[in-house]
Homo-oligomer: A and B are copies of this chain.
């Protein structure tokens, strides 16, 4: 008998939940064996597979009172699909592991699965396997397999003289998080940006086609990700404040919270935009915005000088 809508994971049990999850996770023609056996079997279209994995922990990466199960599912899928995007590729198949307390409502777990599957569907990816087990707090562990139709774009290819460009929103999710942290629920557009980021999934392959030299996604913070590019490439990167037009909702939040809205843009993460370097401004594709330059040296500067504010999220 299927557990009722108010059942907990402890009442439904592992197999009660799995049978419902398998219905949510529809396969595709490249999934030869889907969830339910010891492992999934995939037909790979090209000879290379791009792989990434990420953990999301309750109380650290999300709060159940700030985001529904579906939102957390969207975010978990988005941040993993974004890692493939950041190689110039597209996510194809994902696994999801859920560790959760026994009193977690089954409906929350099913919402998580639905949101996760919906986000995967945005790029045509499917869920091929998973695991469920008990833990004191909710942990969502995702692995994504993807493909690149061109050579993958690494962090290490930036050269002096390149321009730095950004695709996607930046600072919106950080603004939403700041608002939630003060107990507010608006501006709604920022809170939604935090709950359900909208990574520019087409921009990764687009950058590869346009001849980008290096690529990374902005998950932890714009300046800290720029720092990873600079370190991996052995170059210096300068970001120009004047390149950003601060969007109206961030101006409003800055005024309400007494904060410089540029902090959300320069130090905020979670929007999963892409940061790339291109050989020159002429090769930057439409939809991308030039925000800085690559030079000789090391480290990241803002307008040519040291930046004092927060540069990104720290995991410990």
Closest chain B residue to A97, Cβ basis: B55
Main secondary structure of the interface of A (DSSP, over half): strand
Give the chain B neighbours of A40 by CB distance below 8 A: 50-52
For residue A303, CB closer than 8 A to chain B, the reply is: no
Give the Cβ gap from A250 to chain B, nearest Cβ, in Å: 26
| Copies of this protein in the complex | 2
Q: Nearest Cβ distance between residue A308 and chain B, in whole angstroms?
A: 20
Given the complex of chains A and B, what is the CA–CA distance between A97 and B52 in angstroms? Answer: 10
Q: Is the CB of A41 within 8 A of B49?
A: yes
The reply to whether A51 and B32 contact each other, CB–CB distance below 8 Å, is no
- Chain B neighbourhood of A33, CB < 8 A: 87, 152, 154
Partner of A55, one of B61, B141, B232, B316: B141
A70-78, A128-136, A168-176, A286-294: which lies at the B interface? Answer: A128-136
Closest to A135 in B: B57
Interface centre among A47, A215, A232 (most CB of B within 10 A): A47
Known contacts A50-B41, A86-B39, A315-B14; A60/B134 CB under 8 A: yes
Distance of A37 Cα from B10 Cα, bound (Å)? 38
B10 near A55 with CB under 8 A, answer no
- Residue-by-residue, is A132-144 near B (CB-CB < 8 Å gives 1, otherwise 0)? 1111110101011
Pairwise interchain contact B38-A217, C-beta atoms closer than 8 A = yes
Given the contacts A141-B141, A315-B14, A97 and B54 also touching, CB distance less than 8 Å = yes
In the assembled complex, A211 has its CB within 8 A of some CB on chain B: no
User: In the complex, A135→B133 CA distance in Å?
Assistant: 16
Contact with B along A198-227 (1 / 0, CB 8 A): 000000000000000001110000000000
A42 and B48 contact, Cβ closer than 8 Å, known pairs A53-B143, A137-B137, A314-B13: yes
Smallest CB separation, A106 vs chain B (Å):
11
What are 7 pairs between A and B in contact, CB < 8 Å? Answer: A12-B316, A37-B154, A39-B87, A51-B95, A51-B145, A53-B95, A60-B135
